[in-house]
Amino acid sequence: MSHDTTEELFETLTGGAEDDVGLSEEAEAVEPANGLRHVVALSMTKVADGLIDPKLILTWLMNNLGAPGYLIAMLVPIREAGALLPQIVLAGVVQRMAQRKWIWVVGSAGQGVCAALIVLSGFLLEGVAAGLAICASLGGLALFRAACSVSFKDILGKTVAKTRRGAITGTAGSVAAAGVLLLALLLISGVIQNKALVLAAIGLAALLWGGAALVMSMLREMDSETGGDKGRVDFSLLKDNPQLWRFILVRGLLVSTALAPPYIVLLDQQGGLQQLGALVLASSLASFLSSYLWGRLSDASSRKVLMRSGIIGAVAMAAAVVVSLMDLAGIVAVLPACLTVLMIAYNGVRQGRSTYLVDMAPEDQRSAYAAVSNTVIGCILLLVGLGGGVASIFGPKLALAGFAIMALAATWVARGLDEVEKQD
């Protein structure tokens, strides 16, 4: 692609903004090419994320392979906590690197390898062995995901101007949504009626992560200043900070909205690929339809967003339990409807917690607040996931009922949070 074509395409995607705040003259000269590399690499990884979604895809696969419920219950905690906890160590590693794209490259390639191991497990193993192998592979994938997560914002900030970063990540998100939607339609169509399509999708995810690593390796990144102590987390922030403690408690209780989707999948023991496709479609549509609205509401009061999300999530989980008790879970549209409402709540939680943390934290301590919060939440995810696994022994309905209670409790606790958007 010629230089002029690259610049023209980049300006089309970003709206032609002219503000280049934050970029050196050398970085500005290669920004269009770097921006397009970001779009391609991010699009590939976001599609891969959707193709291997632990809440739906891996849950269905492990259930199909006969893995026990307590291992299925650990999928989301392994993925979420595994991507949060290592960031404490990795942040310091990134800060000591001049070329930080290589952390991302290794992280993306590593996710591809782990996804390939999941495919092999699905073909070769069954039962407990398959469950253990998939959980172990997902743990490795989460670790490499943490490497990508902790390095990406820094890399993006060095290579794309502030006024264009949202357009870059937004374009990648739109491409990814289309890719996952295609998978959902294939599953619903009934073209293939066995696990081969699911394993093929995970295999495609492995290739996409590998391709993304190759694309990002070609990024032209300027050297960064290095410092040995910049990534260190100080837990003294928790001392004499009741609002941060309350926020972490609210966020910890609301992890129920992230952990619940696999149990909705398990409610329909006879669910085939068409039902899985309907669930994937519901999840994608919920994210697409609700994210913008939750964002606008969070600008007015992220505290109220957290409260409303807790109520909506509790209603969705309670409804799933009720329809299961009434033997309606096998109807194609019923569980996807419950999941759609739950995922709307989950997106509200994500938007509300992010906005609240940024608005609550002092400007010079936002990274520290995020690191402390993520570390504690990672531990909570593991503990709650373990509790959900124990509850799943008695059936998914009990686990969902417990998660609904947690979501309601979060709403009650959130009443004591400050209205940070109204503070000067």
> Over pLDDT 90: what percentage of the chain?
28
Q: Tell me if the pTM is above 0.85.
A: no
Which pLDDT belongs to residue 279? Answer: 75
Task: Measure CA of the first residue to CA of the last residue in the chain; give whole Å.
Answer: 49
pLDDT category of residue 139 using cuts at 50, 70 and 90:
very high
Q: In angstroms, rounded to a whole number, what is the distance separating the alpha carbons of residues 220 and 35?
A: 10
CA-to-CA separations, 127 to 27, 56, 122, 263, 386, in angstroms, rounded: 52, 18, 10, 18, 19
pLDDT category of residue 4 using cuts at 50, 70 and 90:
low
DSSP character string of 270-320:
T--HHHHHHHHHHHHHHHHHHHHHHHHHHHHHHHHHHHHHHHHHHHHHHHH
Higher pLDDT, residue 66 or 18: 66
Residue type, 81: A
Task: Report whether 205 contacts 52 (CB < 8 A).
Answer: yes
Q: Read off the tokens for 106.
A: 């290794």
Q: In angstroms, rounded to a whole number, what is the distance separating the alpha carbons of residues 364 and 372?
A: 14
Torsion of CA 338, 80, 159, 204, to 10 degrees: -70
Over residues 164-210, the pLDDT tens digits come to: 665 666 667 667 767 777 777 777 776 655 788 889 999 999 999 99
Closest residue by Cα to residue 77 from 58, 91, 61, 60: 58
Query: Considering the chain, what is the average pLDDT of its residues?
Result: 80
Which pLDDT belongs to residue 98? Answer: 75
CA-to-CA separations, 329 to 264, 278, 394, in angstroms, rounded: 9, 13, 18
Which pLDDT belongs to residue 231? Answer: 46
Q: In angstroms, rounded to a whole number, what is the distance separating the alpha carbons of residues 246 and 267?
A: 33
CA-to-CA separations, 15 to 112, 155, 344, in angstroms, rounded: 33, 21, 29
pLDDT category of residue 20 using cuts at 50, 70 and 90:
very low
Which pLDDT belongs to residue 10? Answer: 64
Which pLDDT belongs to residue 317? Answer: 95
Closest residue by Cα to residue 356 from 277, 316, 413: 413
Over residues 375-413, the pLDDT tens digits come to: 788 888 878 877 777 776 777 888 899 999 999 999 999
Q: Which of 112-121, 229-238, 372-381 has the lowest mean pLDDT?
A: 229-238
Q: In angstroms, rounded to a whole number, what is the distance separating the alpha carbons of residues 114 and 165?
A: 29
Task: Report whether 180 contacts 280 (CB < 8 A).
Answer: yes
3-state secondary structure of 229: coil
Task: Report whether 237 contacts 151 (CB < 8 A).
Answer: no
Closest residue by Cα to residue 382 from 18, 86, 144, 96: 86
Buried b / exposed e over 5-20, threshold 16 CB at 10 Å, is ebeeebeebbeeeeeb
Ordered structural domains, the chain, with CATH: 25-220 (1.20.1250.20), 236-424 (1.20.1250.20)
The arithmetic mean of pLDDT across residues 76-105, rounded, is 81
Higher pLDDT, residue 256 or 22: 256
Over residues 310-321, the pLDDT tens digits come to: 999 999 999 999
In this structure, the chain runs to a length of 424
Over residues 329-381, the pLDDT tens digits come to: 767 678 888 988 998 898 888 778 877 876 787 755 655 676 678 778 888 88
